Structure 1
Amino acid sequence: MNKIDIKKVWAGIFTRAAPTYDQVGFKLFFYNFGKQLVELTEIPKKAKVLDVASGRGALLFPALKKVGLQGSVIGIDLAEGMVQKTSEEINKRGFSNAKMMQMDAENLKFQDNTFDIALYGFCIFFFPQYEIALNESYRVLKPYGRIGLSTFYRNAFNEIKWLDDLTEKYLPNNKEMDKQEEEPEVSEFETIEGMQKILIKAGYKDVHNKIEEKEFICENAEEFWKYLWSAGYRGEMERISSENLENFKEELTKNFHKYSFEDGLHWNIKVLFTFGRK
């Protein structure tokens, strides 16, 4: 069997998720933490910013407010659908100092010492060779340029662990795919020590972290269903056969009500922000 091109797989998944990404279920999840990452990175006026795996612009648009008219933000994404949707939004809002480009974070098409700031919002753990991506962002950052990343802090998904347990029942065996997606029980992306080690190894200095916590609420089971198709979890959903999908949805709805409060399903999540400089 040929080795699965995991980057191509994820690009397809996020292209199909793009129309409703961050718009349903736990609404504006990425926007809220994106705005927070931008604030914590302390982006100066006139800065030139690179937003890696920009998605629907959760960091791009808040960053534009920081840099002002004399600064600029370039968002890159491997998913064509994300590039298209966010480009449309940039044009709709009338920004002339922002653009989206379809590009691989592990192979940046920019010259050395181009950007003042590089941002990675909930994306570094998707890159098969994340070390190369961080080396690339280091290369394109100007001297003393800064990097800011967000990742999920350990046990971030405990409150909705039942979802993975349920999904596992319906997933077919795909040893090649599972092997490439295998993760340790606690990933280095989920800890302060792990993220510091990753950035220091890539050459970044003054590495420091901050943990933030926020609660999100999904109002009903139908919204939750839409949410699963609108984010990275879509990758799991697409692996469930069409014959089993209706039964899965039925069980999902029962579990949603089982674990919900009167106002919906709560998700209290901790996020790890990590910063460094060139």
Structure 2
Amino acid sequence: MSQHEIAKAKAVATYNTAADYFDHPVSSFWHCFGRQTIERIALRPGESVLDVCSGSGGSALPAAEQVGPHGKVIAADLAERLIALAEAKARVKKLENIEFRVADMLDLGYPDSSFDAVVCVFGIFFVPDMTAAVKELWRMVKPGGRLAITTWGPDLFEPADTIFWDAIGNVRVDLQRSFNPWDRISKPSGLGELFVKAGIDTHDIQAVSGMHSLNSADDWWAIAMGSGYRGTLAQLDAETFEQVRNANLSCLYREQVKSIKTNVVYAVATKR
């Protein structure tokens, strides 16, 4: 099995499992940053949009609203349970201009220059060869169209992230993570270098610092259960899971953690 296939399998398992908490109110940042990404590309009525790694619709649904009934949005994600969440929300909003696909962004099969905008929010780093992934997305952008890639900035979810991985290391050192997949592109320089390697010229790269409030330590645990951390938690037996959960909650209470970092880097490139 190739590196890409292994990464796909891990992502599918993790986010299908995390789907039960993915849209928890405390994880509103998914949709906040998705909407802000769409605002940055100034979609016009009637335009066509491809949204990959679309999750439960954080950027695809705002895009469908922006392009209107004469526009079209394709939302693709590997995790069928997240796609099902997005489809349900589209029905509630009565959005009929959006199509959902359970599919790999590297194997969608669309011709060159198919879309006015291609969007990837918090997903490009799941692909081992990010340069190849960006090239593939750029291929599908029409002349005059835009490619928007949004990724996490440095120190994501700190101080809770360190607390989480310390607790994991205390019980399962084999599962302790030493780096995050987005670390390579968590600064404008790194994301800019990725675009350069893909043969794309863009000067529209912006880092935005942010904090996400927690009403209680339980809020953090809901975020962990509805995100990539779930893949690690799913590998614990019931007793060890409770040990990790209790260690997280007690440390957050003890240190009176009331917010976590949610730094983001936005990049938009226009095809000349």
TM > 0.5 fold call: yes
Name the CA distance, whole Å, in 1 between partners of 2:156 and 2:144.
Answer: 32
For the residue of structure 2 that corresponds to 1:54, the secondary structure is coil
TM-score by length of 1: 0.88
How far off its partner does 1:131 sit?
A: 2.1
Aligned: 1:165 with 2:166: yes
- 1:231 corresponding residue in structure 2: 227
Which shows bigger deviation, 114-123 or 124-133? Answer: 124-133
Q: Distance in 2 between matches of 1:22 and 1:171?
A: 28
Judging changes above 3 Å, is the alpha-carbon distance between structure 1 residues 268 and 173 closer, same or farther for their aligned structure 2 residues? closer
Q: In the TM superposition, what whole-angstrom CA distance separates every residue of 1:193-221 from its partner, at most 9, and x where no partner exists?
A: 11111112212223421122232112223
Partner of 2:264: 271
**Residues 2 and 148 (structure 1), Cα distance of their counterparts in 2 relative to 1, 3 Å cut:** closer
Partner of 1:32: 32
Q: Tell me if structure 2 keeps the 8 A contact 1:55–1:86.
A: yes
Q: Give 1:18's aligned amino acid.
A: A
% of aligned pairs identical? 23
Residue 109 to residue 268, structure 1, CA distance change in 2 (3 Å): same
Equivalent residue runs for 1:57-206 within 5 Å = 57-160=57-160, 161-171=162-172, 173=174, 183=179, 187-206=183-202
Deviation sequence 1:15-73 (CA, Å, 0-9, x none):
12123213243x31111111111111222221111111000101011112221221111
* Runs of 4+ deviating beyond 3 Å: 1-4, 181-186
* Residue 213, structure 1, aligned to residue 209, structure 2: yes
Cα distance in 1 for partners of 2:220, 2:245 equals: 10
> Given that residues 54 and 121 in structure 2 are in contact (C-alpha distance below 8 angstroms), is that contact kept between their aligned partners in structure 1?
yes
Q: CA distance change for structure 1 residues 277 and 171 in 2, over 3 Å: closer, same or farther?
A: farther
Shift of 1:259: 2.7
Rounded to whole Å, the distance in 1 between the matches of 2:61 and 2:93 is 10
Q: How far apart are the structure 2 equivalents of 1:187 and 1:19?
A: 27
Q: 1:15 to 1:186 in 2, by over 3 A?
A: closer
- Kept in 2, the 8 Å contact 1:196–1:208? The answer is no
TM-score (norm 2): 0.90
Q: Determine the C-alpha separation between the residues in 1 that align with 2:93 and 2:6.
A: 35
Amino acid at match of 2:171: Y
User: In the alignment, is the contact (CA less than 8 A) between 1:19 and 1:85 conserved in 2?
Assistant: no
Structure 2 residues without counterparts, runs of 5 or longer: none
Distance (Å, rounded) in 2 between the aligned partners of 1:246 and 1:158: 21
Q: Is the 8 A contact 1:24 1:227 kept in 2?
A: no
Q: Deviations over 1:226-256 (max 9, x none)?
A: 2211111101211223231222222122112
Q: Distance in 1 between matches of 2:152 and 2:131?
A: 18
- Alignment partners' CA distance in 2, 1:90 and 1:13: 23
Counterpart CA distance in 1 for 2:119 and 2:152 is 15
AA aligned opposite 1:277: T
Determine the C-alpha separation between the residues in 1 that align with 2:220 and 2:184: 29
- Per-residue Cα deviation, 1:79-133 (whole angstroms, up to 9, x for no partner): 1111222122212321110011011112222122110111111111111222222
The change in CA–CA distance for 1:172 and 1:162 in structure 2 (over 3 A counts) is closer
Q: Show structure 1 runs of 5+ residues with no match.
A: none
